[in-house]
């Protein structure tokens, strides 16, 4: 799917905040998942955590840039982001949207 778009959102925090923010990320899935899955164009959504860099990431793959940008105004995501910031998160901005050049592997 070479024309797909990979959306990357990175959250960084101080090491002492990492465990609580990681837990928040796990918990927020139930709130965000139904609405995100209902958005047109979603191919896959992943959330991940890297304790070594005190960072969390949301990545998603979309069929078009327009569909990927739906998350820019998806109110449940915006509301969750405010809670993360209040708990000590720092989001890298701007959110990145990469046009896929190639893909391989069992999920390709």
Q: Write the pLDDT tens digit of every residue in 38-80.
A: 999 999 999 999 999 999 999 999 999 999 999 999 999 999 9
Number of structural domains found in the chain: 1
Per the structure, the complete domain to which residue 44 belongs is given by: 5-98
- Is 105 contained in some domain? no
CA nearest 62: which of 79, 94, 39, 81?
39
CB 43 within 8 A of CB 4: yes
Q: Considering the domain boundaries, does residue 104 fall inside one?
A: no
Answer yes or no: pTM beyond 0.75. Answer: yes
The CATH number that applies at residue 82 is 3.30.70.100
Close Cβ partners of 81 (under 8 Å, ≥ 6 residues apart): 89, 91
């Amino acid at each position: 799917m070479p024309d797909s778009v990979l959306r990357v959102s990175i959250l960084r925090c101080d090491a002492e905040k990492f465990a609580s923010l990681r837990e928040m990320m796990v918990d927020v899935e139930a709130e965000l998942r139904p609405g995100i899955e209902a958005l047109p164009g979603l191919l896959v959504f992943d959330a991940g955590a890297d304790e070594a860099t005190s960072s969390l990431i949301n990545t998603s793959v979309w069929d078009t840039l327009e569909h990927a940008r739906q998350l820019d105004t998806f109110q449940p995501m915006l509301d969750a982001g405010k809670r993360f910031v209040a708990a000590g998160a720092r989001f890298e901005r701007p959110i990145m949207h990469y046009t896929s050049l190639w893909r391989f592997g069992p999920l390709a």
